[in-house]
Amino acid sequence: MNRETIINLLIALGLIAVPLWAIWADEPFIITLATKVAILALAGVGLNIALGLGGLVSFGHAAFFGIGGYAMGILASHAQNYTPMMEWPLLIEGTKSMPVIWLVAVLASALAALLIGVLSLRTSGVYFIMITLAFGQMLYYFAISWPAYGGEDGLSIYVRNGFPGLNTLDPAQFLALCYAVLFVVLFLSSRLAKSAFGLALSGARQNEDRLRTVGIEPFRLRLVAFVISGAVTGLAGALYADLNRFVSPTMFSWHMSGEIMVFVILGGVARLFGPVAGAALFIVMEHLLGGISEYWQVFLGLTLLGVVLFARGGLIGTLAGRKVTHD
Amino acid sequence: MTDPVLVTHDICKSFGALQASRDISLDLRPGEIHALIGPNGAGKSTLIKQIAGGLRPDRGTVQFLGRDVTALDTAARARMGLARTFQISALAMEYTVLQNAVLGALGARGGVFRFFGNVLKDNDLRSAAEAALDRVGLSDQAGTVTGELSHGQRRLLEVAVALTLRPKAFLMDEPMAGLGADGSKRLTGFLDGLRDEAPILLVEHDMDAVFALADRISVLVYGQIIATGTAAEIRENPEVRKAYLGEEDQ
């Protein structure tokens, strides 16, 4: 077992130990924080597929996070108001069932990633960053000016959606559900990184000419990676909306894209547990330093500066040393 | 089969007023090493790019395996079996030597869109990659990160990755560059045996290697082929001596 695996296991243990302690000590707020960490980490795991493996610096992942959120908000608001979403040509009703909402969130954000990817992956570098940012902002302003679903005020969902066999109103059970999703996606993402697709995708990041010379066109690889990445972040958006029981256009804003990117960079780009460590560090800083000063983001900025200047591998990279790619 | 594997017909390419390729016609026949020599700036790299697919000629066609491939991109030509090595090593530097070779084998076999299984445990790919590394003598370095290889070892890895493609023709852009006398000699010996597997279009500055290896030599000066012939013919050609060899061959 190499050092990174041990650190990953320690993070996973910590992630489980803290809420267990919180349940024992009856600290429901800590449980909510842990849930938030898991969901934001999931969004980061999604971005990490595009950014870490593929080298695609997407500054528009809030688009998928928001689409996931609104998938939940729209379906659940129709269900809670007993109004069908569509009556003709076929009757479509809202739903309060998480599995259905997740499926819709994943499909919708994957489709959006496909469209955005087809257009923006023709560019690279700064242009790619700007185009993805532009798509994110387009959706942001669209959400603001769409009165049917709350416009600027967003949508409130009174009761958290249900999952078969679980009482999602119990914070501990909802947390367990979010952890389960996170760990399943982490497992799949670790397989992806080692797969034929992962080898080629990361190869395209390192040297495009090399990929073409062995007969692989990078564009399709990147498009598929972008779609998978967007779908995972979309799933996180649906969970985030359920955590807050509230959706608003801020989920689409570029601040959100930036935050997701910060999780990945803080924790370690292309590291399996990078986004998990990053999201945890971010939330801990937000609450410890946020209690001291409302300008806590100054400290976040300094930390980020430190990571970018002196610890390019992020938290995981600093602790685990160089990435081991061979096994 | 005596049909040439690779043919260019009257290729022209200009960059503004600069004519980098002027009516270049050459061919590569089965079993031969065809060397392309010429002074710096003669347009060798531009020609290689047009043959490999990175650059479209303004006029003229490129034929590979009897098919017009002028409109195909680099990846499509590579899949047909055109294996290129670069003047400046183009490898995935973060990957191990083995991973680079497996990437080549993956490109040759196809099946990039597999998301679950560990690609390094794919026996077909791995044995193809290991066989190629073994042939160039890099087996001991399989676990080394490519960025840590010496310059010469990177050149060998380029050749190994080209081998994994099971190519129908090699396109080698200065494989000897920076190898040193020993390495150059070893690679010369290796390429000598390789021509029976697939013909090589070789761009090379190392004249000892060129004259030792080439069945035919074409001389490119100012975007134009001024002579094509055997090593002896090229040595004797007065135009070539004047334009090129005179300065370099003492």
pLDDT band at B114 (very low <50, low <70, confident <90, very high): very high
Cβ-Cβ contacts under 8 Å, A195 against chain B: 114-119
Q: Residue B81 in contact with residue B167, Cβ under 8 Å?
A: yes
Q: Could B103 and A214 be called an inter-chain contact, meaning their C-beta atoms sit closer than 8 Å?
A: yes
Best B95, B96, B97, B163 member to test A by mutation, with max A CBs in 10 Å, is: B95
Mutation for B interface: A184, A189, A199, most B CBs within 10 A: A199
Q: What is the pLDDT of residues B2-48, one digit of tens each?
A: 789 999 999 999 999 888 999 999 999 999 999 999 888 888 989 99
Which positions of chain A have pLDDT values less than 70? 324-327
CB of A202 within 8 Å of a chain B CB? The answer is: yes
Compute the nearest-CA separation of A210 from chain B (Å): 6
Nearest to A135 by CA among A225, A61, A47: A61
Domain ranges for chain A, please list them: 3-320
Full set of structural domains in chain B with CATH? 1-81+167-250 (3.40.50.300), 92-166 (no CATH)
- How far is residue A321 from each of residues A11, A261, B216, measured CA to CA in Å? 16, 21, 52
Task: Give the DSSP letter of residue B88.
Answer: S
Q: Is A294 on the interface with B (CB under 8 A)?
A: no
For residues A234 and B182, the model is more confident at: A234
- Candidates A189, A213, A322: best to mutate against B (most CBs of B within 10 A) is A213
Q: Give the pLDDT of residue B205.
A: 85
Kindly provide the residue ranges of all beta strands, DSSP E only, lying in chain B, ordered along the sequence. 6-15, 18-28, 33-37, 59-64, 67-68, 82-85, 169-173, 200-203, 216-221, 224-229
**What integer pLDDT is reported at residue A322 of this predicted model?**
77
B250 confidence band (pLDDT: 50, 70, 90): very low
Average pLDDT over chain B reads 91
Q: What is the ipTM of this complex?
A: 0.91
Q: What residue in B sits closest to A327 (Cα-Cα)?
A: B120
Interface size A-B, in CB pairs within 8 Å, comes to 117
Stretch 216-235 of chain A: residues touching chain B, C-beta under 8 Å: 216-217, 221, 224
Chain A positions in Cβ-Cβ contact with residue B82 (cut-off 8 Å): none
Chain B, residues 53-92, CB within 8 A of chain A, namely: 53-54, 73-76, 78-79, 83-84, 86, 90-92
Q: How far does Cα A91 stand from its chain's mean position?
A: 32
Q: Which residues in chain A have Cβ-Cβ distances shorter than 8 Å to B83?
A: 213
DSSP for A252-317, written as a single string:
GSHHHHHHHHHHHHHH-TT-TTHHHHHHHHHHHHHHHHHHH-TTTHHHHHHHHHHHHHH-TTHHHH
Amino acid B208: pLDDT: 85
Cβ contact, residue pair B161, A200, below 8 Å: no
Task: Look at residues A145, A137, A152 and name the one whose alpha carbon lies nearest to residue A254.
Answer: A137
- Mean pLDDT of all residues in B137-162: 93
Give the Cα separation of A104 and A86 in Å (integer).
15
Of A273, A278, A277, the closest CA to residue A304 belongs to: A278
A-chain residues within 8 Å CB-CB of B64? none
Determine, for residues A215 and B78 on separate chains, whether the beta-carbon distance falls below 8 Å: yes
Q: Report the residue from A194, A207, A213 with minimal CB separation from B74.
A: A213
pLDDT of residue B243: 73
Cβ–Cβ under 8 Å, residues A175 and A34: yes
Specify whether the CB–CB gap between A263 and A62 falls below 8 A. no
Minimal C-alpha gap between B65 and chain A (Å): 16
**Is the CB of residue A74 less than 8 Å from the CB of residue A258?**
no
Please say whether the structural domain A3-320 has been given the CATH code 1.10.3470: yes
Q: What is the pLDDT at residue B152? A: 87
**CA gap B174, B185 in Å, rounded:** 14
Q: Name the residue in chain A with its Cα closest to that of B166.
A: A214
Strand partners, B63: B7, B68
Inter-chain contact B119–A212, Cβ cutoff 8 Å? no
User: What is the arithmetic mean of pLDDT over B120-143?
Assistant: 95
**B102 to chain A: nearest residue by CA?**
A199
User: Percent of chain B, pLDDT > 70?
Assistant: 97
